[in-house]
Structure 1
């Protein structure tokens, strides 16, 4: 599978969208990104040129760097809605990856998107699910999807999220509701009660939108969820 993976979390930002808040939230994902793949490390601020994109480390051993804070504070000083922070892993080709955080004040929805080429992502579904679970605990999203970049045109409902490899919904789902799923991963809240479910389409290999069987499973799950009014429209997120 040559297309990149895309992890997309949609959420509402409950507190002030200042630079430190956004960077601290991104820093909270760093350990889980690294656990997902050793290539998801060494994050740099994106720039207008390649030379600029190699200048500033986003994080140090204890959190966001002073240089990243200063650069973003200056570049975003006139931006209120949206505020965008973009970073990349400093690698190109099959090991390239980037993260874009598009922050909007509530009640508008914010979005975090990780794009990672196959060489910069895990082949193990459990590691990918752990990364989703980390983003859920940090951002409290209304939906998270993980798919390959070409799946958007193959999903069933264009006005709703697709499932691709994985889909998180803040609902308790059972095997009786989604029998086509290869795994249902419960997501627990701070009180250890289940707050949602990660639906997984493929567990024996990475999902690929070039594999007709993978697409067939994902499409069937989407139809099953919509038939039960469990898959929201984007407009309702």
Structure 2
């Protein structure tokens, strides 16, 4: 199966090299845990495979000398390992909002509780305005109801209080209330969601329609403006 996780954070300062290393390191640890596999080397992207293989970013979860001597930080920074794992940090030239993008392909199994636990740790560490967890290209293949609004997919975190009475069809709502965030993680199914399964798609669609009807499903441009 393929899994996409997008975590949108807001920092207090411009992204530094040290912070870039730290965030990528945490993303790698997250990936190792939820996929139950560990990659020895992660590489920066390049114009060709040969160029990329000469730009190692992490070895055994530690930043390489190449990374430590990196001079500039681009708006989009990405690292990859093998044919199935890519991690991207996308910045914004206008504000201090960043998107942490996990693109994990051909994953044999997913540890549900580990995903929830790690998302909870992110919600305690960063100022987060949105989290999306998508399986098997639910959003990419436009299976969501509203193309201009956030998709629910398997999991959606919003910085607003949402109750079970408002979305009774959701499998679980996890309320977040800490120094960093005050909101709700909506989980559409209590099993691993499948963006190709008609029943799972129907469930996510029902939640999207319900949230939109209550004025609780934001427009994408509202989130990223």
What's the TM-score once normalised by structure 1's chain length?
A: 0.81
What's the TM-score once normalised by structure 2's chain length?
A: 0.85
Question: Please, which of 23, 26, 33 is the counterpart of residue 24 of structure 2?
Answer: 26
Alignment of 1:2-13 (within 5 A): 4-13=2-11
Secondary structure of the 1:156 match is coil
Corresponding position: 1:69 with 2:83: no
Greater share of strand residues, 1 or 2?
2
Q: Which blocks of at least 5 consecutive residues in structure 2 are unaligned? A: none
> RMSD across aligned C-alpha pairs, in angstroms?
2.5
Instruction: Work out the CA distance in 1 between the residues paired with 2:98 and 2:76.
Output: 10
Instruction: Write out per-residue CA displacement over residues 53-76 of structure 1, whole angstroms, 9 at most, x where no aligned residue.
Output: 333442356853331132x425x4
Q: Which blocks of at least 5 consecutive residues in structure 1 are unaligned? A: none
Matched residue pairs, number?
220
Contact 1:13 1:106 in 2 (8 A): no
Residue 223 of structure 1 corresponds to 209
Secondary structure of the 1:186 match is strand
Greater share of helix residues, 1 or 2?
1
Instruction: Write out per-residue CA displacement over residues 104-127 of structure 1, whole angstroms, 9 at most, x where no aligned residue.
Output: 24536421211001326x423222
Question: Please, which of 95, 110, 122 is the counterpart of residue 123 of structure 1?
Answer: 110
Alignment of 1:37-186 (within 5 A): 37-39=35-37, 41-42=39-40, 43-59=42-58, 63-70=62-69, 72-74=70-72, 76=73, 79=74, 83-89=75-81, 91-92=82-83, 96-107=84-95, 109-119=97-107, 122-152=109-139, 153-186=142-175
> Post-superposition shift, 1:220?
0.5
Instruction: Work out the CA distance in 1 between the residues paired with 2:127 and 2:195.
Output: 27
Instruction: Work out the CA distance in 2 between the residues paired with 1:134 and 1:52.
Output: 35
> Post-superposition shift, 1:217?
0.3
- Going from structure 1 to structure 2, the CA distance change for 1:183 and 1:228 (only over 3 Å counts) comes to same
